[in-house]
């Protein structure tokens, strides 16, 4: 049986699914071996067979500003580091109306940004989307199949898609998400050029968490949100028509680990 690598890509800044997958697979290494799989590893390590990578398509900045324009280049470098073909690629896909605000919020914790509202016209007009990202992954990785998991995704779905037949118990992870008042406070600090230590930041965050929360700091209006959700559904139809691409995890009774 020919050895193959299998890859799970957690879209950057899309919640705790990537961390939960990493923890579950780390705790389930014996279950993987019992099902005929090799080790689960982070990144493109040739000694592993199950790979998790949250930055293969890019980081939050490349998602917000260019929608992962260098996916093909990054994926090609990833594939070069492996010693065998790639079987499954499992990709978590958030919908645009929720995902762009998530990317903005993630960046807003780290650096000064212009208000989200100012970016909305450019985000709405952007031609590049998930169809392009998946096409880039297919071209660079040449996998046997790509499994697309539209958000929201249960950890059990992701495990079934990535390692069918492996009896891995999902491990809980508490995702860290700052409140809007904390994000706004961080933005004021970044724009003022003020740097504070982790302990002081924790105290400030606790204080702001207790304050009344106003309107969402990053959000599309109802009309724009509906437009982006319709686009996402059209993208899923296009993706399903690509040879070797499947939408959603399917229950599998027997494993062909390869």
pTM value is: 0.90
pLDDT digits (tens, 9 = 90+) for 114-138: 999 999 999 999 999 999 999 999 9
- Would you state the pLDDT for residue 26? 95
Running DSSP on this structure, what letter comes out for residue 69? T
Return all residues near 242 (Cβ < 8 A) that are at least 6 apart: 134, 135, 138, 146
Alpha carbon 157 to chain centroid distance? 15
- For the chain, the domains span 5-176+219-247
From residue 111, give the alpha-carbon distance in Å to each of 18, 103, 189, 209: 23, 12, 9, 20
Running DSSP on this structure, what letter comes out for residue 153? -
pLDDT digits (tens, 9 = 90+) for 31-76: 999 999 999 999 999 889 999 998 899 999 999 999 999 999 999 9
C-alpha to C-alpha distance for 197 and 42, rounded to whole angstroms: 29
- Would you state the pLDDT for residue 108? 93
pLDDT digits (tens, 9 = 90+) for 183-232: 888 888 889 888 877 777 777 767 766 666 667 899 999 999 999 999 99
CA neighbours closer than 13 Å in the CB half-sphere of residue 171:
13
Angle at 121 (CA atoms; ends 118, 125), nearest 5 degrees: 150
């Amino acid at each position: 049986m020919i050895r193959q690598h299998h890859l799970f890509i957690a879209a950057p800044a899309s919640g705790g699914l990537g961390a939960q997958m990493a923890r579950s697979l780390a705790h389930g290494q014996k279950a993987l071996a019992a099902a005929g799989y090799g080790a689960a590893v982070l990144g493109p390590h040739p000694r592993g067979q199950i790979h998790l990578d949250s930055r293969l398509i890019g980081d939050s900045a490349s998602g917000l500003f260019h929608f992962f324009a260098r996916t093909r280049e990054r994926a090609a470098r990833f594939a070069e580091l492996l010693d065998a073909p790639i079987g499954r690629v499992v990709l978590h896909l958030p919908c645009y109306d929720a995902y762009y605000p998530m990317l903005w919020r993630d960046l807003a914790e780290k650096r000064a940004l212009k208000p989200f509202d100012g970016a909305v016209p450019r985000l709405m007009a952007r031609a590049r989307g998930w169809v392009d990202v998946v096409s880039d992954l297919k071209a660079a990785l040449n996998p046997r199949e790509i499994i697309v998991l539209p958000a929201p995704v249960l950890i059990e779905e992701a495990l079934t898609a990535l390692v069918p037949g492996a009896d891995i118990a999902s491990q809980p992870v508490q995702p860290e998400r700052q409140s809007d008042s904390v994000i706004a406070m961080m933005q004021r600090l970044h724009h003022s050029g003020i740097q504070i230590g982790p302990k002081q930041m924790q105290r400030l965050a606790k204080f702001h968490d207790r304050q009344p929360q106003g309107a969402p700091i990053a959000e599309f209006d109802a009309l724009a949100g509906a437009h982006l959700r319709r686009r996402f559904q059209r993208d899923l139809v296009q993706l399903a028509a690509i040879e070797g691409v499947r939408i959603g995890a399917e229950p599998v009774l027997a494993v062909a680990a390869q």
